[in-house]
Amino acid sequence: MEKKKSTKKPSVKNINAHEIEQQLRLSEEKHRMLFSKANDSIFIIKENKIIDCNEKSLEMFGCKSEDLMGQHLYRYLPEKQPSGADSILNFYDLTILALNKESQFFYWKFLRFNGEQFDAEVSLSAFEVNGEKMMQAIVRDITRRKEAEEFKNKSIKSYFEIFNSSTDVILILSEANIIIDANKSAIDKFSLTKEEIIGNSLQSMEDKVVASTLTRKIQKAWKEGSSRFDWKAKNKNGEIFLLELIFKKGSYFGKSVLIVNGRDLGERLQAEEERLRAEIAEATTGVLEKEIAERKEAEAKLKTTLAESEMLLKEVHHRVKNNLQVISSILNLQSSYVKDQYTLTMLKECRDRIKSMSFIHESLYQNKDFSHVDFGSYLKSLCSNLLYSYSVGGRVSLNFDIDKIFLSLDTSIPCGLIVNELVANALKYAFPDSRKGNIFISLKRKETGPNFLIIEDDGVGMPEHVNFKETESLGLQLVITLVDQIDGELKLERKKGAKFTIEFKAN
């Protein structure tokens, strides 16, 4: 015999338990999904330590799960909050309040894992699981919102700076045609305080002598978006003045308004008057303009001629310099065929004198001013060349104390030759037997007085019995002649070497 199949049905109790379990599982999955995918960072805290967090927490704080689990949340707080409050102590106080079922909401600074600070909204609330007290901390990163607020505040500040710096009268009219703001120019023009202007209408600030069409024109501006007309206004002192009003619809902190820009017609009329005067002057000065045009044309031609002359003069200096260099090169070449030491010395001295003149023309060629030479710069080039020429650079030092002085060409060439002779003389005779020493070159000008050129050395000096003005030395004879040429006076001091002082007139 076959066994009968069981026809026993599941009890209602079993069905309900299964459904409840399934609903609980779905609810748990739903809450886990909300917890996991929330846009805010969510922490579950037990005994002040993090026991769970969502994916947004790892993204927001820039770390891994193991960096957060088991840690105190205040580890991710700066030492101090912007208010100056201690972060850990304050957080501890707030958690105590939250655990006592007083939910907390506040704005704080947090630290990302890399140490970067960010602004956040924080919500703390307590709950129990199986009799254990826990706390949920929701952290929302508001960095972008803070940046947007800062940008908005800066924009508002910039707006009011522009608003108040305008020289035109600017008023803001509400939809009820009441003034809700006024700039500094409006306050000054109407001789009223800002409080006295705000809350009034434009009609209260106009001249009532003639019938007003202001209301109709304001209505037209609201309807068409803009309007322009001349308006006779009156300030607190009863003074009447004309303004050109320009109405334009706009927005003021989210509200629809009329922006009223008023330009003083008195200034415009004055500008018009000046324009008319200019036109009259232009009409009556045609002949004068023609004469001015002819004069300008003559000046242009003169400038062209002057430029050509300067170019020609520059070329002359360039060619003179080149010719002097050619002569110097010829002397140098000739020296290679001369065996007599005395003759070689003479050729060398001639070459140095020619170079001193060449440097003058080179300086003029390089400068825009062809009539004056920067003598200080020239002296340095000249003396450095002599130091190289006499091959004593290792033991004789040049020391300069030179003012910024410009000399004419007629003065520069004699002065250059004087310096050439005196420095060369010092290099040859002041430091015998490879003795070390210094040569001092000074060029000074007393205020509204003469120039002083000083060549000094700390060498063996010139013997007392030698009269330098009657010496047979060609170099010293040349110095005396050149000093007379520039109407100068030459003095010699024999203490601690030789010191030559030449006093001559400024250009």
- 224 CB contacts (<8 Å, ≥6 apart)? none
pLDDT of residue 358: 63
Helix (H, G, I), strand (E, B) or coil at 413: helix
Which domain CATH number covers 481?
A: 3.30.565.10
Note the pLDDT tens digit of each residue in 130-184: 888 899 999 999 988 888 888 887 877 777 777 878 888 889 999 999 998 998 8
Residues 153 and 133 in one domain: no
Asked if pLDDT for residue 2 goes beyond 50, the answer is no
232 shares its domain with 310:
no
What domain count does the chain have? 3
pLDDT tens for 430-481 read 888 888 899 999 988 877 778 888 999 998 888 887 787 777 777 788 888 8
The first and second tokens of residue 312, run together, are 């020609």
Cβ density class 305-336: b for 16+ within 10 Å, e for less: eeeeeeeeebeebeebbeebeebbeebeeebe
Judge contact between 480 and 490, C-beta under 8 A.
yes
251 and 388 co-located in one domain? no
Asked if residue 321 belongs to a domain, the reply is: yes
How far lies 154's CA from each of 58, 161, 253, 434, in Å? 33, 10, 14, 76
Helix, strand counts (H, E) of the chain: 14, 17
Find the range with the poorest average confidence among 279-283, 319-323, 405-409, 448-452.
Answer: 319-323
Considering the domain architecture, whether residues 199 and 50 belong to the same structural domain is answered as no
113-132 pLDDT per residue, tens: 999 999 999 999 999 888 88
**Would you call 230 helix, strand, or coil by DSSP?**
strand
The answer to whether residues 214 and 362 belong to one domain is: no
pLDDT at 250: 87
- Pairwise pLDDT comparison (66 vs 266), residue with the higher score: 66
Pair (410, 447) in one structural domain: yes
Task: Output the CA–CA distances (angstroms, integers) from residue 81 to 89, 109, 153, 162, 430, in the order listed.
Answer: 11, 6, 22, 35, 78
Question: Do 263 and 314 have their domain in common?
Answer: no
pLDDT at 120: 92
Residues 449 and 488 in one domain: yes
Q: What is the mean pLDDT of residues 183-191?
A: 89
Q: Tell me the CB-side half-sphere exposure of residue 80, using CA atoms within 13 A.
A: 4
Structural domain contains residue 288: no
Residue 284 lies in a domain: no
Out of 141, 171, 198, a domain closes at 141
pTM of the model as a whole = 0.36
Residue 310 lies in a domain: yes
Residue written as token pair 């330009």: 263
Q: Is residue 263 assigned to a domain? A: yes
* Residue range(s) defining the domain that contains residue 117: 23-141
Query: Tell me, what's the pLDDT at 3?
Result: 47
Q: Which residues fall within 8 angstroms of residue 277, CB to CB, at 6 or more apart? A: none
Q: Give the whole-number percent of the chain exceeding pLDDT 70.
A: 78
The SS3 call for residue 222 is helix
Residues 473 and 350 in one domain: yes
Residues 82 and 180 in one domain: no
H helices of 369-462, where?
A: 375-389, 409-429
In terms of Cβ atoms closer than 10 Å to its own Cβ (0-12, 13-18, 19+), residue 195 is exposed
Asked if residues 492 and 441 have their Cβ atoms less than 8 Å apart, the reply is no
- Chosen domain end from 120, 141, 162: 141
Q: How far apart are CA 490 and CA 410, in angstroms?
A: 18
| Residue 12 maps to a domain | no
Residue 453 lies in a domain: yes
Does residue 327 carry a pLDDT above 60?
A: yes
User: Is 69 in the same domain as 204?
Assistant: no
Amino acid symbol at 367: N
Angstrom CA distances, 476 to 13, 117, 347, 469, 472, stand at 137, 82, 17, 7, 8
Establish if 299 belongs to a structural domain: no
Distance CA 362, CA 373 (A): 10
Out of 94-103, 140-149, 161-170, 255-264, which region has the weakest mean confidence (pLDDT)?
A: 161-170
CB 90 within 8 A of CB 81: yes
Q: Same domain for 395 and 487?
A: yes
* Last residue in a domain, options 114, 141, 168: 141
Task: Check which CATH number belongs to the domain holding 228 and give it.
Answer: 3.30.450.20
Whether residue 219 contacts residue 130, with contact meaning beta carbons closer than 8 Å, is answered with: no
